Amino acid sequence: MLTKRIIPCLDIKDGRTVKGVNFKNLRDAGDPVELAEKYANEKADELVFLDISATEQKRKTLYKLVLDVAASLDIPFTVGGGIKSIKDVSLLLKNGADKVSINSSAVYRPELINEVSTHYGSQCLVVAIDAKKINNKWKVHLVGGKVSTDIDLFKWAKEVESRGAGEILFTSMDNDGTKNGFANDAIAKLSNQLNIPIIASGGAGTEEHFKETFTVGKADAALAASVFHFGKISIPSLKNKLKRQNIAVRI
């Protein structure tokens, strides 16, 4: 049985870790390097670093900060934000990333998914999808949730898989930062329709929410930020509880 993964996420803006609610009202959550060291010591399964303002500001990811964070890690490290080309991917991999995450750029130029998976392998590529319910239908949003589209979440996810993505990081904008639980209806639908791993994101507030997304949502991994950053949930405690509930996790 494949183990379920627990993944802290560092949302980066102006060199600091930040966190908001529904992608808004960001507040400081700490130094990225210090947090990375903390999560590695707590045996997080992976770490995700998202430079959330790179696309909006039309700039590249913060390579020096990526290098500094990578130096403190001994767990898989995924980096996203402002990636538009194979050259960008190459620079991030050279600076210590194990995987890259693309989001808006994949929608603007879907061929980028094919290019990255062909050059570096699908195991290196996570496609992130931010979506929210509009008239009861899940619609994809871009540029850190600031740009709405009429693209259907599930159709886009299928195309992403067909183009060679290794995983999908799905964030429910409606659930993000609310601590009310993950969008398990959408996560379960993605899990049932696709053959690649689904990382659930948006809404973690309790240890029970992680169990629910693994069982009800059938997620392969669960990503969270504020509950870890602000000490509401500790990763060792969470993993021990999941193990007691017969969910396969790496202790």
Give the Cα separation of 243 and 251 in Å (integer).
8
For the chain, what are the domain ranges?
Answer: 5-244
Share the mean pLDDT of the chain: 92
Q: In which element (H, E) is residue 139 found?
A: strand 137-142
Catalytic residue IDs: 11, 130
Q: Rounded to two decimals, what is the model's pTM?
A: 0.92
Residue partners of 248: CB distance under 8 A and separation at least 6 = 1, 2, 3, 4
| pLDDT band, very low/low/confident/very high, at 26 (cuts 50, 70, 90) | low
**In this predicted model, what pLDDT tens digit does every residue of 152-195 receive, in sequence order?**
999 999 999 999 999 999 999 999 888 999 999 999 999 999 99
Mean pLDDT of 62-79: 92
Token duo for residue 145: 């949730």
**pLDDT per residue as tens digits for the range 76-124:** 999 998 899 999 999 999 999 999 999 999 999 999 999 999 999 999 9
Amino acid 2: pLDDT: 86
Neighbour count for residue 29 (Cβ, 10 Å): 20
pLDDT of residue 20: 59
Domain 5-244, CATH homologous superfamily name and number = Aldolase class I (3.20.20.70)
pLDDT of residue 108: 96
Give the rounded percent of residues in the chain with a pLDDT score beyond 70: 91
CB 79 within 8 A of CB 105: no
Rounded mean pLDDT, 27-35: 81
Question: Euclidean distance between the first and final Cα of the chain, in Å?
Answer: 15
Q: Is 129 helix (H, G, I), strand (E, B) or coil?
A: strand
- Integer CA distances (angstroms), 199 to 166, 172, 241, in order: 11, 11, 20
